[in-house]
Amino acid sequence: MHANLSECDEEHGMSAVDLFSAALRIGNAIQEMCKTMVNHRKEELCSILGLYALQNIALVSSESKHQNIQSTCGSVVLQYSKLLMFCGFTYLGLLTGNDVTSATTKLSKEEDDNFLDCFSFAMDGASLVVVWTSMHDDMSKYAGAEFESALKEVQDNCIRKWEAINMFRYVLSSVNYSWAIKSHSLDLLLTLVDDKCSEETNDHVDFPCSTQIFAILKAIERVMIAAPDTLMRKKAFSALKRVISVVPSTQRFDILQALIENSMFPSLTAILLDLVKNEVLRESRRADQVNGSDRSQDSGESPPWASQVLELVELILRPPEGGPPCLRDHSEERCYLL
């Protein structure tokens, strides 16, 4: 289906719709087979059907950039969502990606890696189901209270929240999906990441590794650079700041430093440096408060980040290879769109 979709251009969008319908009929046939099975074989086939539905949701979503079939895409995604619910997938499991992991783990014991490669967009699909549910009226009505309950559970649980944050990177970093889908993804991200999960309450939480945090922040950066309108770029910047704010302070500077060192664009580097400056000011105020409450502390002691920040600024202004700072000539938007 993926290969066939690549041959369907915007003028022949209905050809893509025909493919969607045919693939959906296959899914419905597999569902009927599931109903006749029991125990382990039924669980296995339901896992296959669920991953099949997610894979096709991702492919359908990639075609929603074509305005003439956008509403049809939403209707098709709704039908696949019904297959997911039949297979035991939940909105909480889709938000966090845990249902996809569970299905692939179950099948990896029975099938070879080549088989699972058929579902390479399953994680994309899981995130996209959530996005479509928030942006498509019929899907929102179908999900009902279960979707709202899943959102609330993620908001109230820091571990679940980070799992959900991590899932958004699949859509935001991809060039396959429309800006409308990415905009709704940012809206959901901003809804999930609020002030309830402050760093003070996160000391005993098992956070994702730095590479996962870095990946979602780089995905948000892509939108900041390449989004076609100012409003969406501002929304992406708000999401970037919000996610960084809930990263533990023990990891936050390292994450910001990695983002700066891997930044290709002077304007983005400046934005990130401003975030570093704000963090230093916050750390400084916190140190002042501690010193004010404990007179035995040395009030002249520098904030923990002070020396690291100076090294970072020096790295930017005086690169290791010498010479002036490297300010690239190419267009920022053009580079990210390539």
The mean of the pLDDT values for the chain is 83
User: Quick check: 338 pLDDT over 70?
Assistant: no
Q: Quote the CA–CA distance of 172 and 178 in Å, as a whole number.
A: 10
Question: What is the reported pLDDT for 184?
Answer: 96
Least Cα distance to 184 among 200, 172, 166, 196 occurs for 172
Q: What local confidence, expressed as pLDDT, does residue 308 receive?
A: 76
| Res 88 pLDDT > 90 | yes
Largest CA distance in the chain: 75
Q: Which residue has the tokens 């948000």?
A: 220
Say if CB 80 and CB 148 are below 8 A apart: no
Beta strands per DSSP E along 26-144 = none
Single pTM value for the model: 0.84
pLDDT of 33 reads 96
Q: Which amino acid is at 177?
A: Y
- The pLDDT-based confidence of 92 (bands split at 50, 70, 90) is very high
Instruction: Evaluate if residue 197 carries a pLDDT over 80.
Output: no
Pairwise pLDDT comparison (123 vs 2), residue with the higher score: 123
Distance, C-alpha 308 to centroid of its chain: 29
Q: What is the pLDDT of residue 276?
A: 87
**259-292 confidence digits (pLDDT tens):** 998 888 888 888 998 888 888 887 777 766 666 6
Q: What number is the average pLDDT over the span 23-36?
A: 96
pLDDT of residue 231: 95
Q: What tens digit of pLDDT does each residue of 127-179 get?
A: 999 999 999 999 999 999 999 999 999 999 989 999 999 999 999 999 999 99
CA distance 71 to 64: 8
- What type of residue is 333? E
Of 185, 223, 171, the residue nearest 58 (C-alpha): 171
What is the phi/psi pair of residue 36, to 5°? -90, -5
Most confident by average pLDDT, 155-169, 241-255, 323-337: 155-169
Q: Is it the case that residue 200 has pLDDT exceeding 50? A: no
Percentage of the chain beyond pLDDT 90 is: 53
Residues 283-318 have pLDDT tens digits of 777 766 666 666 555 555 555 666 677 777 777 776
Closest among 252, 234, 230 to 243, alpha carbons compared:
252
Q: Answer yes or no: is pLDDT of 65 > 80.
A: no
What does the H/E/C string look like for 181-228?
HHHHHHHHHHHHCCCCCCHHHCCCCCCCCHHHHHHHHHHHHHHHHHCC
| Cβ(263)–Cβ(257) below 8 Å | no
